[in-house]
Amino acid sequence: MTAMSAFLPWFFVAATTLHNLEEAIWLPAWSRRAGRWHAPVGAAEFRFAVLALTLTAALVAGLAQFQGPESIGVYLLAGYALAMLLNVLVPHLGATIAMRRYMPGTATALLFNLPAAAFVVSTAFREGWISTPTFYWAGPAVVLAIMASIPALFSLGRRLTGRGVKSNV
């Protein structure tokens, strides 16, 4: 049994969940004072979006394990890991440095997402679960899909909860 087939996808999901939990608790209030680094976002809509993204991480982890090497599931997982690697730098580390104050999610991004996501991508390559030519287009496609989904998830969260930026944190 390989690391990819045994525990690694779920290690990534755990790291993503911890990160999203930190953001869900503190980022909505922080966003009201973030200026150009983050548009103000209500607690309910933000928490809906991170819940959906966390569940998506679990879904693609399960698909990757079920489908195995060179599958759609494993490329979705590796692309999601790439998105979380990039998320460490922008906005978390970048905003924390530029604003000279902590952006919620930075600690968990550095402590959990960075190693877990890097381990997923490097292990997937090393164990032959993904190939370089396919990952070169699939990884960025997943990153762009996740980025595009965020405003839609905020909008859906506002509709479902009836609460937006002015909601209580």
pLDDT at 56 over 60: yes
**φ, ψ at 138 (rounded to 5°):** -70, -40
Quote the pLDDT of residue 131: 98
pLDDT digits (tens, 9 = 90+) for 15-54: 999 999 999 999 999 999 998 888 999 999 999 999 999 9
Which tokens hold the place of 16? 């993503």
CA 98/CA 136 separation, integer angstroms: 30
pLDDT at 113 over 50: yes
pLDDT digits (tens, 9 = 90+) for 119-161: 999 999 999 999 999 999 999 999 999 999 999 999 999 999 9
- Kindly list the domain boundaries of the chain, sorted by start residue: 3-161
Secondary structure (H, E, C), 46-79: HHHHHHHHHHHHHHHHHHHHHHCCCCHHHHHHHH
Mean pLDDT of the chain, nearest integer: 94
